[in-house]
Structures are given as C-alpha cells and as structure tokens.
Amino acid sequence: MIMSFGAPIGAAIGALTADRLGRKPAIITASAAAILFDCIYPFAKAPMVLMCVGLALAIPIYVLVALLCDHHSRSGRGPLLYTLQKHSPSVGPQAGPRGAGVIMPTLS
C-alpha cells in the first residue's frame, strides 16, 4: 500500500524536473536513484524499513515513467532525447518503464 504512493509522487517529480533539469540529467539521476534503492531493497529486514525503501524505489521508477512518456509525447514540440533514426515510435526506451508502471501497483 505504501509503495503505491510512489506513483503520484514520482510522476509529479518527473513532471517538474523534466523542464527544469532537462530530460537527460533527470533520467540519469532517476536511474541512479532506482539502482541505489534496488540494491538496498533485498537487504531490508524490518517491515517499516522495507516499506520506506520500497517507497523510495517506486518514486524514481515513476519519475522515469513520467519522463520517458513525456519525451515520447513531446517528440514533435521539443528537443528529442534521441534522433528519429535511433528509435521507432512503437518501441524504445519507454517500454521498460511502462511495463514497470503496470507491474508495480500489483506487486505492492
């Protein structure tokens, strides 16, 4: 239940940081945070620590969901993260975070 609060928090952070930091630095920062909390999560033993680390893990995942979906929807209006020759509109970097966005609420 607590981890599910990471979705709106992460999406809000992603929406706010996309324009302020730029998409590339925000994606790199959110990815690094997700990796860090993912390394800590399996070693959390106490239930309260597990919930807090789980929430901290869900937030950067949803930041990535917001950033990468925002990138895909803005491809005609703003600078592209990747050139059009490097990705297809139907697949690409948004596939992983979208899958995480579907799976995370069912696991929490």
> What is residue 92's predicted lDDT score, i.e. its pLDDT?
57
- Domain tally, the chain: 1
Predicted pLDDT of residue 76 = 52
**What's the CA angle centered on 48, arms 45 and 52, to 5 degrees?**
100
**Does pLDDT of 10 surpass 80?**
yes
Write the pLDDT tens digit of every residue in 83-106: 555 545 545 556 666 667 667 766
- Tell me, yes or no, if the pTM score tops 0.75: no
Number of other CB atoms surrounding residue 70 within 10 Å = 20
Please give the residue range of the domain that contains residue 84: 2-107
Query: Which amino acid would we find at residue 27?
Result: I
Q: What is the pLDDT of residues 21-34, one digit of tens each?
A: 888 888 899 999 99
Contacts of 8 (CB under 8 A, 6+ apart): 62
Mean pLDDT of 4-11: 88
What φ, ψ does residue 84 adopt, rounded to 5°? -65, -25
All residues at 6 or more sequence positions from 105 whose CB lies less than 8 Å from its CB, including other chains: 4, 7
